[in-house]
Amino acid sequence: NIVKVLHGAQMDVLWLQRDFGVYIVNLFDTFHASNVLDFGKHSLAHLLKHYCGIDADKKYQLADWRLRPLPAEMIKYAREDTHYLLYIYDRMRHELIDR
């Protein structure tokens, strides 16, 4: 079982199912984990700051990601936005287990 780690995956899951017939199982959503852990803020930017000390640049957060080909700046943003996600997952998972 491969764990899929996403943040705020509700719409991603919907679109993947609707548009591609892809059904995600074994999902860990860091947004929902932040709710369970009673964080005051639930954004990925907050989690990056909390766990990694990173100030995230959210410049392309609301960009049109349907654009193809994606400009190099958007690819860089996506790469940086997800780079620490598995580390955050691991930390949150341990915090949830220790509760």
55-87 tens-digit pLDDT:
988 889 889 998 999 999 999 999 988 999 999
Q: Is the peptide bond before 71 cis (omega within 30 degrees of 0)?
A: no
Cα distance from N-terminal residue to C-terminal residue, the chain: 24
CATH of the domain at 14: 3.30.420.10
Q: Which helix (H) or strand (E) holds 28?
A: strand 27-29
Rounded to 5°, angle at Cα 22 from 77 and 1: 85
pLDDT the model gives residue 58: 87
pTM of structure? 0.88
pLDDT the model gives residue 30: 98
Instruction: Give the count of domains, the chain.
Output: 1
What domain range is 87 assigned to?
4-98
